[in-house]
Amino acid sequence: MSSSAPSRFVLAVDVGGTKVDAALVDDRGVVFGASRHRAATGATASSERLAVAVESVVTEARAALPVGAALIGVGIGCAGPIHLRDGAVSPLNLPVWREYPLKQLVAALVPDLPVRLRMDGLCITLAEHWVGAGQGVDNLMGMIVSTGIGGGLILGGVTVSGPTGNAGHIGHIEVGGFSDACACGGVGCIEAIASGPKTVAWARRQGFSGESGEDLAHAYAAADPVAVAAVARSGQALGQAIASAATLLDLDLVTIGGGFSNVTGDLLVFAREAIAQRVQFAYATRVRVVPSALSGDGPLIGAAALIHRAEMVP
């Protein structure tokens, strides 16, 4: 791009269980900080309140477009499941939205611009491939370990969405040896075991007095035996799920981000140990599991990549 060419921005939107973010992202994957706006969502919010939150952050982010810059599209990442054909969403952690027409809501605010919607886990995987830990790797899975657990897939250098848009939703893969009930109706889903809130809840049932992932991190650092057991349990479950995915998909790399992934670096150590138990499947145990190289901007960068890296999004 020449120095005289106008900046090209995508308006990126990330919708999750606790907040919705929007910002302008340029074609280098850099978030324009002055454009970033956030509003609360939450499981108790009404459908109307959620819609207003999305409308407000999209409108505010667009208004920050620099003079002379070009806005070339809108990318939306949302917690799943989604309904790709209709542009609708049914996030498990936003119960009032079931087949809600999110793409239509946003498109009405930005007429004459392309709008693309994908699951948030796929967006984070795109961001890792573009500017993060997955650069140069064409067979990878990105994971978010936070309030929930999400994922996305790039195989053969292109994203894999599946016919409904939900391919890569590893949070609801069941892992052996666990009986934790999941909100999706399954038993032993990785999200029900190893997400931040579920790990803390398990620790509290064992006598832990803390209330948050941050409390658990401090307790783990102090070698509290319950905190250590809780993190080891979640890491084991994560490793089992990743090993299953690697066995099925022949992955080169798994990147793990999200707030709870930072509870301790040992979380990934426990996961790698579980993967290594697949001793007869060298093609699966070769998978590298690494922390995300992205900042908290990763979900927005990934949503923008739906437009900026459109060649990777069939």
List strand residue ranges (DSSP E) for the chain, in order.
Answer: 8-15, 19-26, 31-40, 70-78, 82-83, 88-89, 115-119, 140-145, 149-155, 158-160, 253-257, 288-291
The pLDDT value given to residue 93: 86
Contact 57, 15 (CB under 8 A): no
Q: In terms of pTM, does the model score above 0.75?
A: yes
Pick out the chain residues at pLDDT < 50.
1-2
Contact 277, 156 (CB under 8 A): no
DSSP state, 191?
A: H
Burial of 13 (0-12, 13-18, 19+ CB in 10 A): buried
The string over 280-313, giving b where at least 16 C-beta atoms fall within 10 Å of a residue's C-beta and e elsewhere, is eeeebbebebbebebeebbbbbbbbbbbbbeebb
Bond prior to 81 in cis (omega within 30° of 0): yes
User: What is the distance, to the nearest Å, from the Cα of residue 87 to the centroid of all Cα atoms in its chain?
Assistant: 18
Give whole-number Cα distances, 162 to 140, 153, 158, 187, 281, in Å. 16, 10, 12, 24, 26
The pLDDT value given to residue 295: 84
Pick the closest to residue 168 from 235, 130, 122 (CA basis).
Answer: 122
**Neighbour tally for 93: CB within 10 Å:** 17
Report residue 38 as tokens: 């956030």
CA distance 144 to 78: 12
Element (H, E) at 248: helix 225-249
Give whole-number Cα distances, 148 to 1, 51, 188, 235, 309, in Å. 39, 21, 14, 15, 26
Element (H, E) at 200: helix 196-205
The pLDDT value given to residue 2: 46
> Which residues lie closer than 8 Å to 227 by C-beta, 6 or more apart?
203, 208, 210, 216, 219, 220
The pLDDT value given to residue 4: 57
| In the chain, % of residues over pLDDT 90 | 92
CA distance 14 to 299: 6
CA distance 147 to 204: 17
